[in-house]
Amino acid sequence: MKNQPIYAAKSLRKTAVHESRGALHRNRLPDHIGPGVRILFVGINPGLRSVAIGHHFAGYSNRFWKLLFESTLTPEPFTYQDDWRLPDWGLGLTNIIQRPSAGVNVLKPREYIAGKKRLITTVRHYRPDTVALLGVTIYRALFPEYRTGRVSLGLQDVTLASCPVFVLPNPSGRNAHYSYRTMLKAFRALRNATSKPSSR
């Protein structure tokens, strides 16, 4: 009988952890897209920290915001707290999958299929000048014919809902395939391939 409170406390802690994780999975980050969007950035899915904080690309090692500024796609340095300001510069942000996770390895093929349908609907609605995919993984999911073989960064020969597609490296700190220098070069190529940002 003496041990009952200890077991109860452990049970309560376990229940709280499960409820907390469940709440994170139910949460969704909002898209930040406005009329006249020039570049629509598409991520894979939000990380747990991003959803907990309520902002895109909030991971400690994520380089998205630094790359935006250093490539001059934005005229001033931003952080994840400024994600809602992207439409002010003709930029938009969404994810192919809305469900948050600690890593992309737990995402299911059916989630990519459903995400593709949602993304096509979004692109048809906003008609961005360019759809910028943040990672080769997204490109392969959207275009199954390129599931194997090498995919080069940059402007692709395919379109998504009649909009040009540009492949960028995934800016996550977990991406060891590309150096920061290569990432920055790709973001600058995107800047050169699109119109310069203008204040509204």
User: Are 83 and 55 a contacting pair, CB within 8 Å?
Assistant: yes
Structural domain including 129 reads 29-193
Q: Domain holding 66: CATH number?
A: 3.40.470.10
Residue 16 lies in a domain: no
Give me the number of domains the chain comprises. Answer: 1
Mapped to the 3 state alphabet, what secondary structure does 69-87 carry? Answer: HHCCCCCCCCCHHHHHHHH
Residue 3 lies in a domain: no
Instruction: Tell me how far CA of residue 37 lies from CA of 11, 68, 99, 188, in angstroms.
Output: 49, 16, 24, 18
Residue 20 lies in a domain: no
Beta bridge mates, 159:
164
| pLDDT tens digit sequence for 40-80 | 999 998 888 888 989 999 888 899 999 999 999 999 998 99
Q: Positive or negative, the Cα torsion across 163, 200, 168, 40?
A: negative
Interatomic CA distance for residues 129 and 152, integer angstroms: 20
Residue 8 lies in a domain: no
| pLDDT tens digit sequence for 74-105 | 999 989 999 999 999 999 999 999 998 777 77
Residue 21 lies in a domain: no
pTM for the model stands at 0.81
Residue 12 lies in a domain: no
Residue 41 lies in a domain: yes
